[in-house]
Structure 1
Amino acid sequence: MKRISGVVSSAVLAMLLSSHAAAEYQGPKVKFKLAHPAPPGSHITAAYKKFADLVKDKSDGRIRVQLFPGSILGSDRVMIEGAQRGTLEVGVSSTPNLASFTPLFQVFDLPYITSPAKQEQLYKALEKGQPLNAYLEKVANDIGLQPIMYAEYGYRNFVSKERPLTGPDALSGLKMRTTDSPVDVAVAKAMGANPAPIAWGEVYTALQQGTIDAEGNTFDLMVGAKHHENLKYAITSAHNYGMQVAMANKKWWDSLPEEAQTLLEEASREAVTYQRTVAYPADQKKARESMLAAGVVIHETSKEEMAKFKELTQPVFDEFAAKLPEDLIQLVQETQL
């Protein structure tokens, strides 16, 4: 076997290879729908495809997951509303969009509350049995949902159409596309940019026509939507982190036998480990290469520049953190120590 990249430990490799082991599940047959917003080729799509494959394998085909990718059943909001009502067993939403169902998920929108350097510690805190996991589970349960997978979305970086991005000050005056998230809008203002909330599907044309000249998103998502064709500069600001969370209808989840719940949790844990260690890093590498090949200049943020980013966005952090429970903020911040 060829040497495996250092990002995949031998333990992880063994786990992935063992996914085809003989199944022991003898419970009732179950078939359910899982809908998510990611397009084909995305590491998010790979995560949920892996989950479905593992569920089928571990149950010897007695449990089946019917996947509906690419928002074909509706937007994040529509999918989560379906999961709440029970018309959809499992819906997937980004954490910013979950904040419209409960503001507590807005904790992950706070600028620089997490960082790529401490990502493994955040992953650990999201595991079953950990305080942060238990807290978020109760938050979801209170609105009729049961979280079953915290799939990676990634860190957003600023990009521009014409202006070189050589530091935080370079964003001043730019027409910056944002989401409808009040945190996203406030961050753009804090950087001196002029926020322009625009639907994702309209961003390519807005860049092309000059309606906007900057945005902030993950490299892979921008490349997937071909935004890099209209971009020239990027900076690794990593100013905002997000996840794509699979939420099950709580009553449906509770109706499953414990054996089935355990199997689904095990498949979820293995699928998200696969995404974080294999699919996501590969997607990020490919996206960077695509941007560079298209002529996009990527400025790597220095420690001093990162400190400036944090200083400029601290008022935004303080404003929105004041609206959230202190114990929740503390649980997330403890992952960064």
Structure 2
Amino acid sequence: MTFSRRATLGLSAGLIALLAAGHASAADYTLRLHTLVKSPHPYNDMAQAFKAQVEAKSNGAIEVKIFDSGQLGKDPAVIGELGFGTVDMMISSVSNAAQNVPEYGIFTMPYLFKGMDEAVAKIEPGTAVAAHFQEIYEERGVGMKLLALGASGTRNMSTAEVAIESPVDLKGLKMRTPPSPMDSKTWSAFGMQPVTVAWGELYAAMQTGVAEAMESSLPGYNGSKLYEVAPNLALTQHTIQINHTSISQRTWDKLPEELQAIVSDAAVSANALGVEKAKGYDAALVDSLKTDHGVSVSTPDKAAFIEVVAPLQVKLAEELDLVEEYKLLTE
């Protein structure tokens, strides 16, 4: 078979166009984004929103691959991977980062904020608190850059056997805590026995009696089906769950300035979405947990819980060397 010169030129032009199109569609950068939680959850909503904005604004120069449900490992290990640049980003609770950034422990202090709006106003991008924690990242050499701090709902208590109506009901219970000294000291003040258990092992711990009580966000409680092993939910609303969106410093340094700006803006936008999603989840989940899963829900008088922890706040901040963070958040 023979081709005319015109046909050959046409074929060459077509091939060049095809190769060019293939090259244009290939992302220059791929960001592997970790979350620990299962959907529905604000963190996964944030991840999807971040992906959509970054890929659109970068015209495909950046591809975001989301790994939810702890596919890349537990948070402390993933933070180490961010330091090496083998994982690029994460959206997660600050309490799970307290081993690497001990100052994050301040956010697990019960009744530190009156509500979500107050928390967001204190910690959102552009605040002194956000700048403070970015400086801590740099000082500690964790290999991460903080893109945003946000709030993702209230944390509440649940138990395997005991209905919680007042602080008296907590005495003697084995209380699951993350690896946070603040949590251990706080729940000990209620006469509980702290037991450190990783989030991914919590279901089994509650099921086997290693722990008898736990606390979590409502989306986390629902998404991990913890109502099956801790069906007594008490709306203590003792803390506002604070989350961080962080990127590997090595990954950040590889991005051109114009792409850094796109990533940063998308993180801030996703953070704002996460706050609104969290509010909606909290309101809807209480009803569905009762109706669909038979969860017994109590609403204790928070004043009784505050009475126990209020005198401890300054003391705890001093003991854990968190005085500067406590002042930033309460003044």
TM-score interval, smaller chain: 0.7 to 0.9
Cα gap change, 1:248 to 1:211, in 2 (>3 Å):
closer
**2:303 maps to what in 1?**
307
Paired residues of 2:153 and 2:282 also in contact (CA < 8 A): no
Whether 2:130 is the aligned partner of 1:133: answer yes
Pair 45,320 (structure 1): closer, same or farther in 2 beyond 3 Å: same
Map of 2:30 onto structure 1: 31
Q: CA deviation at 1:292?
A: 0.9
Map 1:143-158 → 2, pairs under 5 A: 143=141, 144-158=143-157
| Stretch deviating more after TM superposition (64-73 or 313-322) | 313-322
Instruction: Tell me, yes or no, if the aligned pair for 1:186 and 1:316 is still in contact at 8 Å.
Output: no
1:329 maps to a residue whose letter is Y
What's the CA shift for 1:152? 3.8
Separation in 2, partners of 1:95, 1:110: 12
Report the CA distance between 1:296 and its aligned residue: 2.5
Instruction: Map 1:64-103; keep pairs closer than 5 Å.
Output: 64-103=63-102
Structure 1 residue 55 displacement after superposition: 0.7
Q: Is the 1:111–1:316 contact (alpha carbons within 8 Å) kept by the matching residues of 2?
A: no
Residue 237 of structure 1 aligns to a residue whose secondary structure is: strand
Deviations 1:159-216 (A, max 9, x none): 2233222122221222322223222222222112232333333433343344443222
3-state SS of 1:180 partner:
coil
Distance in 2 separating the partners of 1:274 and 1:91: 16
Counterpart position of 1:288: 286
- The answer on whether the counterparts of 1:30 and 1:63 sit within 8 Å (CA) in structure 2 is yes
CA shift in 2, pair 1:179/1:325, >3 Å: closer
> In the alignment, which residue of structure 2 is the partner of 1:18?
none
Deviation, structure 1 residue 51:
0.5
Size of the aligned set, in residue pairs, is 301
With the length of structure 1 as denominator, give the TM-score of the two structures: 0.80
**TM-score, with structure 2 as normaliser:** 0.82
Q: Which residue in 2 is equivalent to 1:5?
A: none
| Offset at residue 108 of structure 1 (A) | 0.8
Secondary structure of residue in 2 paired with 1:65 = strand
Return the letter of the residue paired with 1:58.
Answer: K
Structure 2 residue runs without a partner (length 5+): 1-26
AA at the equivalent of 2:122: A
How far the C-alpha of 1:321 sits from its partner, in A, is 0.4
- The answer to whether 1:124 aligns with 2:121 is yes
Higher gyration radius (CA): 2
- Residue 231 of structure 2 is aligned to residue 228 of structure 1: no
SS of alignment partner, residue 107 of structure 1: helix
* Stretch moving more, 82-91 or 197-206: 197-206
User: For residues 232 and 37 of structure 1, what CA distance do their matches in structure 2 show?
Assistant: 22
How big is the shift at 1:95?
A: 0.9
Q: Where does structure 1 differ by over 6 angstroms across 4 or more consecutive aligned residues? A: none
Change (3 A) 1:326 1:232: closer
Aligned AA (2:279)? P
The 1:197–1:88 alpha-carbon spacing in structure 2 relative to 1, beyond 3 Å, is closer
Residue by residue over 1:281-328, the C-alpha shift from the partner in whole angstroms, topping out at 9 and shown as x without a partner, is 3322342123212332322233xxx23212212454334301335332
Matched, 1:179 2:159: no
Alpha carbons of structure 1 residues 252 and 175: separation in structure 2 relative to 1, 3 Å: closer
State the alpha-carbon separation in 2 of the partners of residues 33 and 87 from structure 1. 8
1:182–1:316: structure 2 CA closer, same or farther, 3 Å change rule?
Answer: farther
AA at the equivalent of 1:310:
I
Amino acid at match of 1:126: I
Give the structure 2 partner of residue 113 of structure 1.
Answer: 112
Q: Deviation at 1:247?
A: 1.7
Cα displacement (A) at 1:93? 4.0
- For the Cα contact (< 8 Å) 1:44–1:151, is it kept in 2? no
The answer as to whether partners of 2:91 and 2:243 remain within 8 angstroms in 1 is yes
State the shift of 1:126 in Å.
Answer: 2.9
Q: Is the 8 A contact 1:157 1:218 kept in 2?
A: yes
Letter in 2 for 1:281: K
Can you give the 5+ residue segments of structure 1 that lack an aligned partner in the other structure? 1-27
Quick one: distance in 1 between partners of 2:229 and 2:120?
34
- For residues 147 and 47 of structure 2, the distance between their equivalents in structure 1, rounded to whole angstroms, comes to 11
TM-aligned CA distance change 1:102 to 1:56, over 3 Å: same
CA distance in 2 between counterparts of 1:200 and 1:163 reads 21
